[in-house]
Amino acid sequence: MPVTPVLTRRWNTPESWTIDTYHRLDGYVALRTALAGDPDDLIKLIKDSGLRGRGGAGFPTGMKWGFIPQGDGRPHYLVINADEGEPGTCKDAPLMKADPHSLVEGIIIAAYAVRASRAFIYLRGELIHAGRRLRAAVAEAYAAGYLGRDILGSGFDLELVVHSGAGAYICGEETALLDSLEGRRGQPRLRPPFPATHGLYASPTVVNNVETIATVPYIVNYGVDWFRTMGRERAPGPKIFSLSGHVTRPGQYEVPMGTTLRELLELAGGVRGGRALKAWTPGGSSTPMLTAEHLDAPLDFEGMQEAGSLLGTAALMIMDDTTDMLRVVRRLTQFYAHESCGKCTPCREGTSWMVKILSRLERGQGDASDVDTLVDACDNIFGRAFCALADGATSPIVSGIKYFRDEFIPVSAVTTKPDPTPGGAAAGDGSPAPTPGAYAGAH
């Protein structure tokens, strides 16, 4: 089946967010199965399923759970990364709004597996409506006896708190998230030690993405063999792909891991207006852009690495042949400069200087050496910071220059375009206001 609705299957049901609807559609069945069994068997089940993290890194979920030391006498924590903010990524927000109980059920099962008696959902602050639905779902789950003391008579206790963040992309990085949850600036920690042994409050902690945890009840219900009927050997299961940009029917498409962009575009009605595909991101702005030559590359972790990119969050931003790549890259670089937490010098300084260079090129005021400077700067940023934000910041630049170098050299950079946003290319240099027509032909 081209589309495999598993996590998305309840999203079209009236009042899908209520516990009554969830009960009617198999809700909290997996929880009973899980609580009747041994936590170690649950960890093994998830290991055997081959489930890999859906938040971007693709780490095997069962292995992550297995890293939690057991019988160590310390409290364990489960923290859900619901800080969705990677540009292009818009899958967890609808999941939490349409089917919050699937996340809550997954949390209870996962917490039972790793013996955590407290769990937190670190929710991106701006997602206010998801917060309403989640808090309502948590309250319903407490009332039904799925949370709190002695859940369903199992002797297992779990407290679950929805914690709203306050606007910082960096908090999607798991150690920055933990610092933020501890009431600090959200800045990444040096690893090791890893969160599995020294996470929240320096205790063993599992940090999992929303989609990852929401997948767990289905694996408990339907089993490993069923899960592995979808996807590829090293990346089994269904995955929610988010299509946006110049596509006819943008939206969420839950398909088997390893589906190709060509197949997804077919489902989504193709590039808007029948135009040619110019560039796309496989997994948000932090994953190197690809081109039409990669239409048939399998969208999974290995497939994207072989293509020179990363699966990331499976956020496919589609750019047609009218797109001004220099402008795209400058805009994304501004994003990283804004969101760099400032802890590591290469990232903090590098991103802001690269914005200046890209803006200069965009105004037609750069010279040929600027492109080399950008490549050199990226080379000095990549791998030289505490966290992956810095690496991600180099992705649009390096891949943009790799595939569209001609658009970066000054001769083709003379068509200055306006950017009314603060810090845009037109800002701060006293140059005359440019003419309208951002992202040429995009409208």
Q: Which of 71, 73, 190, 443 binds other proteins (CB under 8 A)?
A: 443
Number of H helices, E strands in the chain: 16, 10
Number of residues that make up the chain: 443
Does 89 bind other proteins (CB under 8 A)? Our answer is yes
Q: Which of 47, 74, 132, 356 binds other proteins (CB under 8 A)?
A: 132
Does 386 bind other proteins (CB under 8 A)? Our answer is no
Within 95-114, which residues bind other proteins (CB under 8 A)?
97-98
Supply the minimum distance, in Å, between the C-beta of residue 230 and other proteins.
Answer: 6
Q: Which of 67, 69, 72, 129 binds other proteins (CB under 8 A)?
A: 129
Does 149 bind other proteins (CB under 8 A)? Our answer is no
Within 158-217, which residues bind other proteins (CB under 8 A)?
161-169, 180-186, 201
Residues 316/345, Cβ–Cβ less than 8 Å: no
Within 228-287, which residues bind other proteins (CB under 8 A)?
228-233, 236, 238, 242-246, 249-260, 263, 267-268, 285
Within 28-67, which residues bind other proteins (CB under 8 A)?
28-30, 32-38, 41-42, 44-45
Judged on CB neighbours under 10 Å (0-12, 13-18, 19+), 383 is exposed
Does 115 bind other proteins (CB under 8 A)? Our answer is no
Q: Rounding to the nearest 10 degrees, give the CA dihedral for residues 111, 114, 116, 119.
A: -40
Does 226 bind other proteins (CB under 8 A)? Our answer is yes
Supply the minimum distance, in Å, between the C-beta of residue 367 and other proteins.
Answer: 27
Host H or E run for residue 28 = none
Q: Which of 93, 107, 214, 337 binds other proteins (CB under 8 A)?
A: 93
Q: Which of 79, 92, 147, 265 binds other proteins (CB under 8 A)?
A: 92
Helix spans in 195-324 (H): 195-198, 210-227, 261-267, 301-306
| Nearer to other proteins (CB atom), residue 410 or residue 437 | 437
Residues 305/333, Cβ–Cβ less than 8 Å: no
**In the chain, what are the helix, strand and coil shares in percent, each to the nearest 5?**
45, 15, 40
Judged on CB neighbours under 10 Å (0-12, 13-18, 19+), 283 is buried
Supply the minimum distance, in Å, between the C-beta of residue 290 and other proteins.
Answer: 15
Supply the minimum distance, in Å, between the C-beta of residue 31 and other proteins.
Answer: 8
| Nearer to other proteins (CB atom), residue 154 or residue 380 | 154
Strands 238-245 and 251-256, how do they pair? Answer: antiparallel
The span of 56-64, 204-212, 336-344, 400-408 binding other proteins (CB under 8 A) equals 336-344
Distance of CA 419 to the CA centre of its chain: 27
Cα torsion angle, 292, 298, 304, 305, sign: negative
